[in-house]
Structure 1
Amino acid sequence: MSTDESAFTRRGVVTAGAVVAAAALTACTTSGRENATPAPKETPAGPGQSAGNTLAKTADIPVGGGVIVGDTVVTQPSAGSFVGLSSVCTHAGCKVASVSGGTINCTCHGSKYRLDGSVSNGPAVKPLAAKPVRVVGDSVISG
């Protein structure tokens, strides 16, 4: 074979394919920032308490409803009672999408959870994991 001829080797073809695939995957991904929830604000600890992050104002969490803040769902099943839950669906690991109609809803496969995290409708069979929250003044704080 002369130096003027182009030679295709298996290694060359596989390497080129890998480079093209990596470039295509990189082009198809996003930074994920366009739907990101703002980071909770650090709240100083009171006497005998550890510091936590402010998740939401109590007035922003409707009775019989809730809000999703990052990896936490905060609900208010009854007036003045706040519950912290993981925002990760126990069925397939998707992030739950909304809190409406008295349920926490995952749109990946249709699972619904009650405001206490228990399963209302499957395919999920396990409840959402509990996350500790507390009320400090007019804010719901993690931890």
Structure 2
Amino acid sequence: MTSASNRPPQEPARRTVVAALGAAGIAVTLTACGPDGGPASGTSGAGEPASGASGPSSSGSPGASGPSSAGSPGAGGVLARTSDIPEGGGRIFADRGVVVTQPEKGRFEAFSSTCTHQGCTVSGIADGVISCPCHHSEFSVTDGSVRKGPALRPLPARKISVHGDGIELA
């Protein structure tokens, strides 16, 4: 009978090695499209507010996401005032993972702020287009559809509700 201390050391299972290599590859890919691959902090590379909106924001600080109430990130609470979202443009709330647009007066839409190409945070909105800084994909402010690749899928819609002059994530 052999005791456990006399057994030769075992090599890691092939599955373990393959899983570790896969995880490392994903980490490298995400790093390439993360904060170092493009701004994800709510400002553009030039230090401008990330909204790139076609009009001024009522918030005085770059990347500010407007009024919000306490709660879990990404759900509930006032995200912005309707007056914060310029007609024909929009505003990016990177901390909440959402882009809110106003394609036409009084109509508000919301989409994920994560580019469907490789996961970068979109950084600008101008001329009816939401743009990604990493690989220059462009999406429509109207429906999130791809206007210019390399992204192949639209920005996923996010559910919002408008109560009076407040916009909330549903």
Please confirm whether the aligned pair reaches a TM-score higher than 0.5, indicating the same fold.
Answer: yes
SS of the residue 1:35 aligns to: coil
Structure 1: unaligned runs, 5 residues or longer: 1-28, 45-50
Tell me what 1:58 maps to. Answer: 82
**Aligned length in residues:** 106
Q: 75, 86, 90: which is aligned to 2:116?
A: 90
Matched residue, 1:3: none
* One-letter code aligned to 1:66: G
Q: Structure 1, residues 77-105: CA drift from partner, whole Å, max 9, x if none?
A: 11111011000000010000111111000
1:67 maps to which residue?
A: 91
Aligned residue among 121, 134, 150 for 1:123: 150
Q: C-alpha separation between the residues in 1 aligned to 2:77 and 2:147?
A: 29
The match for 2:69 is: 42
Is the CA contact (8 Å cut-off) linking 2:68 and 2:80 kept in structure 1? Answer: no
**Alpha-carbon separation, structure 2, partners of 1:81 and 1:59:** 12
Aligned-partner SS, 2:139: strand
Mapped to 2, the partners of 1:78 and 1:43 lie a distance apart of: 30
SS of equivalent to 2:136: coil
Q: Are the aligned partners of 1:43 and 1:141 in contact in 2 as well (CA < 8 Å)?
A: no
The Cα RMSD (Å) is: 2.5
Which secondary structure does the structure 1 equivalent of 2:77 belong to? strand
Letter in 2 for 1:95: T
Residue 19 of structure 1 aligns with which residue? none
Max Rg structure: 1
Give the Cα–Cα distance (whole angstroms) in 2 for the partners of residues 118 and 43 of structure 1.
32
Residue 38 of structure 1, CA deviation: 4.9
**Alignment gaps of 5+ in structure 2:** 1-34, 43-62
* Number of the residue aligned with 1:112: 138
Distance 1:138 1:43 in 2: 19
Distance 1:65 1:38, change over 3 A: closer
Cα distance in structure 2, aligned partners of 1:65 and 1:43: 27
Contact 1:90/1:125, CA 8 A, preserved across alignment: yes
